[in-house]
């Protein structure tokens, strides 16, 4: 450990340090954070870290040959007991997790409650990319107004989203470790996957880009749920009012797939940089357009062909004399009803 890290570690245990300074030091240095929590654990086990509270007994003269047999017997028992304890601890202890920022814009708050529990919150107009380490490596892009909790338990990493949206992609995963991404109503068991999940009062959905996942709700009788393939979306409309919590599974359009894939391509570019970086203007533009587009995701998704041969697809937000569609490429578009040749509902 470097000298400044040692000094910071001593500061963490100083009686004069305040809570704000403690949180700042822990958030800025993951290695320092790990050392701190390990010393807290040792202090809890021993009751103190003060060497003066553990005096060394006076050395009494003993007969070496008389005590040799007893010593080796006690040492063998100690090794056996301690080895069994370490083996059990290694098998039962969860894997430590760290969320390493890769790019941020705005206010992204990370609270490392323990080695095994991280909470991330984003504010309005705030975006952040993280590299999640623990039982493997995973990429995350978190959008504004999101509340995400990450919990590591034995052979399982669970991401719990209460509100907002984020992209998630597996880089590597240890054999035998499960990954779950859970919203308030839809639970997903991942199998080498890239996905997008969004939670709002009007709509809860999981869009799968790569791999395969098992999706289920608490209300479903079948414990196996449904298998979602890449290129499909599982969603519940008005989940708080939907007592049956019935999941609708539909195929996404090629345009939607390409839009999400461009987000993952952007993540891939950022994660190739070893240091924390800033978003480019093009990245910010794509992220903001995607965020505005997803705000209408509770509405039907349609494709409209106009009389002049143009085709647009997006969320249908107005019907009447004019049809209004929000497209990720063109934003808000209005069609007079007489100018529409054909309208197709791709997803209700």
Domain CATH code at residue 320 = 2.30.30.100
**Does 183 share its domain with 261?**
yes
Per-residue pLDDT, 112: 86
Give me the mean pLDDT over the 50-64 stretch.
Answer: 57
* Pair of tokens at residue 15: 């009686």
* pLDDT tens string 289-308: 898 998 898 899 999 999 99
Helices (H) and strands (E) in the chain, counts: 6, 18
Given this model, what pLDDT does residue 13 score?
A: 62
Last residue of a domain, one of 51, 70, 92: 92
What's the CA gap between 100 and 277, in Å, rounded? 12
Position 78 scores a pLDDT of: 62
On the question of pLDDT at 196 being above 90, the answer is yes
Write the pLDDT tens digit of every residue in 213-257.
888 876 665 566 788 899 999 998 877 766 666 788 999 999 999
Does residue 40 have a pLDDT over 80? no
Are residues 68 and 130 located together in one domain of the fold? no
Q: Are residues 44 and 120 in the same domain?
A: no
Q: Mean per-residue pLDDT for 52-76?
A: 58
Q: What is the mean pLDDT of residues 150-167?
A: 92
C-alpha 104/C-alpha 111 separation (Å) is 15
Type and span of the H or E element at 75: helix 64-92
Do 102 and 29 lie in one domain? The reply is: no
Q: What's the pLDDT at 191?
A: 72
The segment with the largest mean pLDDT, out of 24-38, 224-238, 312-326, is 312-326
Give dist(CA 260, CA 233) in Å, integer.
12
- Please give the share of the chain, as a percent, with pLDDT higher than 90: 36
Which of 131, 151, 133, 150 minimizes the C-alpha distance to 141? 131
Following CA atoms 100, 104, 109, 111 in sequence, which dihedral angle do they give, to the nearest 10 degrees?
A: 0
On the question of pLDDT at 88 being above 50, the answer is no
pLDDT at 233: 92
In a domain, 336, yes or no: yes
Q: Which span out of 29-33, 72-76, 127-131 was modeled with the highest average pLDDT?
A: 127-131
Give the number of domains in the chain.
3
What mean pLDDT value characterizes the chain?
A: 81
The pTM of this model reads: 0.70
198 burial via Cβ count (<10 Å: 0-12, 13-18, 19+): buried
Q: Give me the CATH number covering residue 204.
A: 2.60.120.1440
Please determine, for residue 129, whether its predicted confidence score (pLDDT) is greater than 50. yes
- Say whether both 220 and 308 belong to one domain: no
Question: What is the 8-class DSSP label of residue 52?
Answer: G
Which of 38-42, 186-190, 247-251, 284-288 bottoms out in mean pLDDT, i.e. has the lowest? 38-42
Pair (242, 256) in one structural domain:
yes
Three-state SS for 168? strand
120, 174: one domain? yes
Per-residue confidence band for 30, with pLDDT thresholds at 50, 70 and 90: confident
pLDDT bracket for residue 113 (50, 70, 90): confident
Q: Spell out a b/e string for 51-76, using b for 16 or more CB atoms within 10 Å of the CB, else e.
A: eeeeeeeeeeeeeeeeeeeeeeeeee
Are 111 and 23 members of one domain? no
Q: How confident is the model at residue 154 (pLDDT cuts 50, 70, 90)?
A: confident
Selection from 217, 218, 252 nearest residue 233 by Cα: 252
The verdict on residue 288 lying in a domain is: no
pLDDT value of residue 43 = 61
| pLDDT score for 221 | 56
Q: CA 247, CA 31: separation in Å to the nearest integer?
A: 43
Residue 169 falls inside a structural domain: yes
Which residue range forms the structural domain that includes residue 43? 3-92
Query: Are both 315 and 223 inside the same structural domain?
Result: no
Q: How far apart are CA 320 and CA 313, in angstroms?
A: 18
Co-location of 158 and 177 in the same domain: yes
Q: Number of C-alpha atoms within 13 angstroms, CB side, residue 269? A: 11
CA distance 210 to 229: 8
Same domain for 253 and 110: yes
How many Å apart are CA 209 and CA 82, to the nearest integer?
47
**Per-residue pLDDT for 210 more than 60?**
yes
**Among residues 267, 293, 320, which one ends one of the domains?**
267
- Residue 85 — pLDDT band, cuts 50, 70, 90? very low
What would the mean pLDDT of 265-289 be, rounded to a whole number? Answer: 87
The three-point CA angle 166-23-280 to 5° equals 40
Q: Is 92's pLDDT higher than 70?
A: no
How far apart, in Å, are the Cα atoms of 187 and each of 55, 163, 206, 294, 297? Answer: 54, 14, 9, 20, 19
C-alpha 132/C-alpha 137 separation (Å) is: 6
CA angle, 181 as apex, 175 and 183 as ends, to 5°?
165
Same structural domain, 135 and 228: yes
């Amino acid at each position: 450990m470097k000298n400044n890290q040692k000094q910071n570690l001593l500061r963490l245990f100083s009686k004069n340090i305040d809570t704000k300074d403690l949180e700042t030091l822990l958030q800025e240095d993951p290695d320092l954070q790990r050392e701190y929590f390990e010393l807290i654990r040792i202090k809890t086990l021993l009751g103190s870290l003060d060497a003066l509270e553990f005096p060394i007994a006076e050395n009494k003269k003993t007969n070496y040959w008389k005590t040799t047999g007893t010593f080796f017997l006690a040492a063998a028992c100690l090794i056996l007991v301690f080895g069994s304890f370490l083996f059990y601890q290694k098998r039962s202890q969860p894997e430590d997790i760290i969320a390493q920022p890769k790019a941020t814009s705005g206010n992204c708050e990370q609270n490392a409650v323990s080695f095994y529990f991280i909470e991330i919150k984003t504010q309005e107009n705030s975006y952040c990319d993280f590299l999640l380490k623990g039982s493997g490596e995973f990429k995350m892009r978190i959008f504004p107004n999101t509340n995400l909790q990450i919990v590591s338990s034995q052979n399982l990493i669970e991401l719990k989203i209460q509100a907002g949206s984020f992209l998630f992609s597996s880089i590597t995963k240890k054999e035998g470790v499960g990954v779950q991404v859970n919203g308030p109503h839809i639970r997903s068991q991942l199998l080498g996957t890239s996905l997008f999940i969004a939670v709002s009062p009007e709509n809860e959905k999981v869009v799968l880009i790569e791999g395969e996942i098992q999706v289920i709700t608490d209300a479903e009788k079948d414990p196996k749920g449904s298998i979602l393939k890449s290129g499909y979306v599982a969603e519940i409309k008005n989940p708080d009012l939907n007592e049956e919590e019935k999941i609708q599974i539909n195929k996404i359009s090629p345009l939607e797939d390409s839009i999400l894939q461009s987000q993952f391509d952007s993540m891939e570019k950022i994660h190739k940089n070893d240091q924390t970086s800033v978003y480019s203007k093009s990245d910010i533009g794509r992220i903001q357009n995607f965020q505005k587009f997803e705000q209408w995701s509770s509405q039907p998704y349609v494709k409209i062909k106009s009389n002049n041969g143009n085709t647009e697809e997006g969320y249908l937000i107005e019907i009447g004399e004019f049809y209004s569609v929000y497209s990720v490429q063109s934003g808000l578009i209005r069609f007079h009803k007489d100018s529409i040749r054909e309208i197709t509902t791709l997803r209700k």
